[in-house]
A and B are shown apart, each in its own frame.
Chain A
């Protein structure tokens, strides 16, 4: 027996998510419950990583899933995979919250860069799809293989929602260097992720 490829796993997971979203559009509360059980740990984990406040991350989870429920028509399966859409939704909203808080507090709070142990593939969730599990491993491995400076710059951009100049300020590094590190980090991740990124597995639909 051969193991299913990353692409097959992704495609299967995506087909099921898309079907659940269709049922949500038909006002099936059980379908939303299923989506919640499949993805809430990812949504909460990512939200927590970005907003760094449990109560706010909980608000975010509620915000995101009620958005799925009430604005399900905004997801268009023909334009991309569900997971990519969900991840963008979570990140955008989390960063909105983060920025609103920063504006309110009138400061760029010192953003702590996660230590290595925090991106290790230790977390296993039985509810997570096989594909997501594979992806998690691949991302952790790829990130670990980046030079520290690139990884840090990428993390500040992705989780910190910071601009180039904010990152430069935070790291006390010239702007040009920061830009180069982020770009190189992204290109390196693209190569390291290989199959996961080359086929646009979670950002783009199956051909």
Chain B
């Protein structure tokens, strides 16, 4: 095949249309270092990419953004957990009555094809990551039996506490996954108020699925002796949905203890209240979002 013929194949190659012998020969030719073809292919790739821009821009539904960012948060939580230091623990089995650490991830996140195994295996739960440590601990127990019994006992307590924390986190994660997978999920956007212009939040709420969770971002750390408290405003009466902590990044997630029914909810609001919260709001409002009635 001569040079002209090869250059002619560049447009088809860029579009992924080359097949069989043509494809093989063209790739071999490129691999041999033909600069003219490389240059032409660069232009054809650019044309191909530009064609993508003939498709109209369409904003995806807002819920999709929340769903994706939630999956990202869940990933982060999972990897933080993996990195959490675990002292070489004595052999500990999860408590039989405790919640299963393996949650069902529901309809998402779907592992992507190319990366199916790596992140999935990574997320596969802390037990996998703990296994070598547990094995190591088994050896430790055998070698140090007796002499270090006391020390081990205190380590055991630490590990147990760690395990409980992880189980609690898993439970929380499972709950959140559950909420996101609920039927007819609604998203209520909450905006920052006068004193907190940088804050924002979302309530993911499924009255049908009887689940709701608040996500808040950009909240300043509450002053000593104060807590943030969430309210659901039904008619004109605010009802407490509990106080919640804010992490060092100003983020919070809070599962609503009492899921409001579909009708009658006018708004969700967060106020700053004395630690532990009150039965009616008294402090400044930091987040507010009203519910648009869909049915």
Contact = CB atoms under 8 A, between A and B. Distances in A.
Interface string B34-70: 0000000011111111111111111111001101110
Interface string B14-37: 111101000000000000000000
A128 B58 CA distance: 11
Interface residues of A, number: 73
A89 to B, nearest CB: 10
A183 B8 contact: yes
A50 B55 CA distance: 9
B75 interface: yes
A71 B17 contact: no
Contacts of B115: 67, 70-71
B84 to A, nearest CB: 15
A43 B56 CA distance: 10
Interface residues of B, number: 47
Interface string A130-146: 00100110111011000
Interface stretch (B105-113, B170-178, B223-231, B277-285): B105-113
Interface in B108-143: 108-110, 112, 114-115, 118-119
Contacts of A102: none
Nearest to B45: A203
A33 interface: yes
A48 B55 contact: yes
A23 to B, nearest CB: 13
Contact of A143 (B16, B54, B57, B75): B54
Interface of A: 27, 29, 32-33, 36, 40-46, 48-50, 57-59, 61-63, 65-67, 69-71, 74, 83-84, 87-88, 90-91, 95, 118-119, 122-125, 128, 132, 135-136, 138-140, 142-143, 154, 157-159, 161, 163-164, 179, 182-183, 186-187, 189-190, 193, 196-198, 200-204
